[in-house]
Amino acid sequence: MLSLARRPGQKIRIGENIILIVREIRGRQVKIGIEAPANVRVLREEIYEEIAAANAAASLETEAPAALLEALGR
């Protein structure tokens, strides 16, 4: 993992198309701006984890009926 120290207004570039901007530092909270192409999904980690868990649960639900149909020989 790369760790960088930045001050408000300073930027970090990732590849050609993504820029992180330190907007504000207040106590233990850092506000970051993200400039990225529309086709790049930008999610907070906790939201990403919720989506991944929901997708995993949904895939289990769709596998159960398929297994039941297979057991019935259909």
Residue closest to 12 by CA, chosen among 24, 21, 3, 23: 21
Quick one: pLDDT band at residue 65, thresholds 50, 70, 90? low
pTM metric for this prediction:
0.69
- Cα separation, 32 vs 5, in Å, equals 13
In angstroms, what CA-CA distances link 41 with 44, 45, 47, 63, 67?
Answer: 10, 12, 12, 27, 34
Quick one: pLDDT band at residue 57, thresholds 50, 70, 90? confident
Can you tell me whether residue 29 is helix, strand or coil? strand
